[in-house]
A = this chain, B = another copy of it.
Amino acid sequence: MVGDGIRKSGKIIMKKFILLPLIILIAGCSNDMDSTIETSTDIEETFNWRLVTSWPKNYPGLGMAPERIADLVEEMSDGQMKITVYGAEEQVPAFGVFDAVSSGSHQMGHSGGYFWKGKVPAAQFFTSVPFGLTADEINAWVNRGGGLELWREIYAPFNIYPIPAGNTGTQMFGWFNKEINSLEDIKGLKMRIPGIGGEVLKEAGGIPVTLPGGELFTALQTGVIDATEWVGPYNDLTFGFHQAAKYYYYPGWHEPGPMLELLINIDAWNSLPKHLQVIIETASKAVNQDMLDEYLAKNNQALTELVEVHGVELRRLPDDVIEEFREISNSILDDLAKEDETISKVYRSYLDFKNNVSAYHKISEDAFVESRNK
């Protein structure tokens, strides 16, 4: 499935264990014989790969993860591997990343698994589902709880090898121009909210709308939509949503800890020497944490600015609305799991881990945070 797009640099540099034989036949040192000098080297290729993403080039947070992975890989391999990162639309559309990597037109992609729900419904569990796992929890499930093996199994038919590569942490529910005081206020609410979150809103009587990020500000301002979710304070502040909406609602029940993915074409992956594979996996794991660190540090600052400088009103969703959303979410996920055996297998693993980790967190970190905050 790998087309001509998989381009390895033809340039060969002499690197690594120049083992000689540098066989020098000094034949005869005499008048009538040739001298033959033969050198043999265990040559090492360089790799120049292309990475396409679903984010605008260098978009703060999301878009910086693939840039950082590329930098780390180049530095750690001492220049043996170079990855060029393209923003959305530069080479393929934002949502064309999966197909580009699958076909082999590009060796690598950076995106979010829930964008491929049409092709691989179970992929959503490896990004985020409503009332699901937080960032730490999904890290533990994927890396140490059997999740990664399932993820690789469901992407293998598409010739893709996925690696966890970033997390924004719990997102905000978003920006509203209507107050939500009860379930009644959800009825008819026009909100930009994609994925299962949108399905939940619809079940509860709202009207989920799909709009690209660039149109959201105007749509909010002109009343085309009543509300929109985006990411969190850090990204939301730069978008200026506080100038177009009255209230900032929490908690972000729809995306509690979305994990992003590095996608690698399997044939390209298999062509790499082992040390470059370990370098890519390790760089991705480091960046997976780095993105969460960055969001956590910058969300704090941005929230302070939103509230103290721009006077943004923070609002908590009423309990009965949260409860309704939670019940609908669970029932949608239960139905989804019935669609086929693969989804069911992933869902069971996810749910087991979630129940287990929730029980543990209740007596550890959650209990601690409660005791600290009192």
Instruction: Decide yes or no whether A114 CB sits under 8 A from chain B.
Output: no
In the assembled complex, which residues on chain B have CB atoms less than 8 Å from the CB atom of A139?
289, 292-293, 296
A274 and B75 contact, CB distance less than 8 A: yes
A364 and B252 contact, CB distance less than 8 A: yes
- C-alpha gap A296/B72 in the complex (Å): 27
Instruction: Decide yes or no whether A283 CB sits under 8 A from chain B.
Output: yes
A77 and B316 contact, CB distance less than 8 A: no
Instruction: Decide yes or no whether A331 CB sits under 8 A from chain B.
Output: no
Instruction: Decide yes or no whether A12 CB sits under 8 A from chain B.
Output: no
Q: Among A205-213, A261-269, A351-359, which stretch is in contact with chain B?
A: A351-359
In the assembled complex, which residues on chain B have CB atoms less than 8 Å from the CB atom of A362?
373
In the assembled complex, which residues on chain B have CB atoms less than 8 Å from the CB atom of A359?
300, 303-304
B251 and A76 contact, CB distance less than 8 A: no
Oligomeric state, in copies: 2
Partner of A365, one of B143, B169, B371, B374: B169
In the assembled complex, which residues on chain B have CB atoms less than 8 Å from the CB atom of A363?
172, 250-251, 303, 314, 316
A285 and B296 contact, CB distance less than 8 A: no
User: Interface residues of A, CB < 8 Å — how many?
Assistant: 96
Instruction: Decide yes or no whether A275 CB sits under 8 A from chain B.
Output: yes
Known: A18-B14, A41-B18, A293-B139. A169 touches B134 (CB 8 A): no
Known: A144-B293, A286-B285. A364 touches B232 (CB 8 A): yes
Q: Among A116-124, A153-161, A175-183, A318-326, which stretch is in contact with chain B?
A: A318-326
Q: Which residues of A contact B (CB under 8 A)?
A: 13-19, 22, 24, 26, 28-31, 35, 37, 39, 41, 72, 75-78, 131, 134-137, 139-141, 143-145, 169-172, 232-233, 250-253, 256-257, 273-275, 278-279, 282-283, 285-286, 288-290, 292-294, 296-301, 303-304, 314, 316-317, 319, 322-323, 326, 353, 356-374
Would you mind naming 17 contact pairs between A and B with Cβ atoms under 8 Å apart?
A: A15-B18, A16-B16, A22-B22, A24-B26, A35-B35, A76-B282, A134-B365, A140-B293, A141-B297, A143-B289, A253-B368, A257-B365, A282-B283, A296-B357, A297-B353, A326-B374, A358-B373
